[in-house]
Amino acid sequence: MLTVRILAGFLLLLLGRRLFWAFVAALGFLFGMDLGRELFLGQPHMVVFVIAVLLGFAGALLAYFVQEVAIVIGGFLAGGYVAVAFMSAETGQLGHPFSAAFLVGGLIGAILLYALFDWTLIAISSLLGAAMVVESLHLHSAVGLVVFLALAVLGMSVQAGSMGSPVRRRRR
């Protein structure tokens, strides 16, 4: 499971904007892991994994067929997870994905992603991908913060660089 979270983190970090469906699928998977752990406490890990895969698949289908809805849901989940990651970094304790920080971050993420799609998607997917990698590697304190910031900047740079010049984008 750890390898899957790290891989999903790097996919979000580097390809979040290009692969919007993968961005929403990874968020569905991440949310499914957290939801499965909460609802099926004490069940085998395979039950939680199957729930996560199903929610990830549902997220990918949603992004493919109903993009407007996927933008709002994806923005909400990503903003919530980024807020929880920031709160965890500040307090030094693991944040809970069903908290007030998640709700506030989720609302901000949904509004921003809907209003400013490309740039918000780049920022949120980079921040979320960096947070997933740092959390999965159990990096804490100053080292975790430095790695988080370095990965986030790397992700934003790679994704922004892949956008090309404004003139080229208009011709497509």
117-127 residue pLDDT tens = 888 889 988 98
106-145: b (≥16 Cβ within 10 Å) or e: bebbbebbeeeeebbbbbbbbbbbbbbbbbbeeeeeeebe
* Phi, psi dihedrals of residue 32, rounded to the nearest 5°: -60, -40
What are the residue ranges spanned by the domains of the chain? 2-163
User: Residue 145: is its pLDDT beyond 90?
Assistant: no
Q: What pLDDT sits at residue 121?
A: 87
For the chain, the average pLDDT equals 82
DSSP letter (8 states) at residue 18: T
Task: Report pTM.
Answer: 0.72
Do residues 168 and 23 make contact, with C-beta atoms less than 8 angstroms apart?
A: no
User: Residue 1: is its pLDDT beyond 70?
Assistant: no
